[in-house]
Amino acid sequence: MAAATHPKRASLPLPGGSDGGGVVVTPMRTGEMLAPPRFWQRPSGPLATVRGSGVFTPRSKWTWVPIPAFLVEHPTAGPFLVDTGLHRAAGQSVRRAYGNRAAALFTIRMEEGAAVADRLLARGLDPLGIGLVVMTHMHYDHTGSVEAFPRSTFVVDEREWEAAIGGGFMHGYRRSLFDHGYDWRTIDFGSPQVDSFASFGRAVDLFGDGSVRLVSTPGHTKGHMSVLLRLRSGRELLLAADAAYSRRTIDEELLPTFCEDPHRYMRSLREIRRYLELTPSALVICGHDPDSWPQVRERYE
């Protein structure tokens, strides 16, 4: 089937930057998913992915992990999202949200009003007024609510778009979630215009004012990126997404069960760890960390 969406290369920096500007960040838990015990650390030996997937482990020993998205409010560029979290229907029917194979494998729970569009409305923000959505990557738990933002521009790593549009369920993608003919813009992290920042070898300054940097952290997927934010207070906040499922992943350099490229994953993880060593005042929110989520603030300013 031909793609409905034909992305264009992003022209950076995007408009709206302001010198010295800082952002306010609101984490939003869109739901939770059951994860097997070895979700965070791949077992050694043969058939590691199969054994780590929890096929032979009773669900009673699995752990609920958060599925977040983030509202970022920029003083002049306006509000935008990082990822879109779970599909609104996932709490009632995984099959309706993600298909038959997902329904056989995944257990999801969502509170009423937890979908990202509903959370925005509860904060007095019209989802149709969100001009920008930054996608760390294109897995089903991050693209679940793309359809709710038909007027937004979506920004994604060029390699990630190619992997997602050509990939399928076994690689974590579901094309029907995001291929709606919306305005998608890709970033080429191999471009000569891309800079380094701190410990990150490849980074782009999204608005040209230092407030939002997209850093290339491949490995979990081919084109995964994390988002480094300068808060209004001047402190930095790293949204690691799935480049690090948990803080323990960073501290112990854990390779998770599900990983597209282990070598690139570990390289990205070490860049994150080195960044936190170089910037001890920085905050970090990891992708799916049930231990740290209770300490995540309602707002970061």
User: How does pLDDT run across 157-194, given as a tens digit for each residue?
Assistant: 999 999 999 999 999 999 999 999 999 999 999 998 89
Neighbours of 250 (CB within 10 A): 22
Nearest by Cα to 288 from 248, 237, 228: 248
Q: Under CATH, to which class is 8-295 assigned? A: alpha beta
Which residues lie closer than 8 Å to 93 by C-beta, 6 or more apart?
A: 103
Alpha-carbon distance of 52 to 43, in angstroms, equals 6
The residue among 211, 210, 215 whose CA lies nearest residue 194 is: 215
Question: What are 54-112's pLDDT values in tens digits?
Answer: 887 899 999 999 999 999 999 999 999 999 999 999 999 999 999 999 999 999 999 99
Check: pTM over 0.85? Answer yes or no.
Answer: yes
Q: Which of 241, 205, 220 is nearest to 84 (CA)?
A: 241
CA distances from 290 to 16, 65, 121, 222, 263 (A): 35, 5, 26, 25, 26
Q: Give Cα separations from 135 to 77, 152, 241, 260 (angstroms).
A: 17, 12, 10, 17
What pLDDT shows up at residue 297?
98
What pLDDT shows up at residue 54?
A: 83
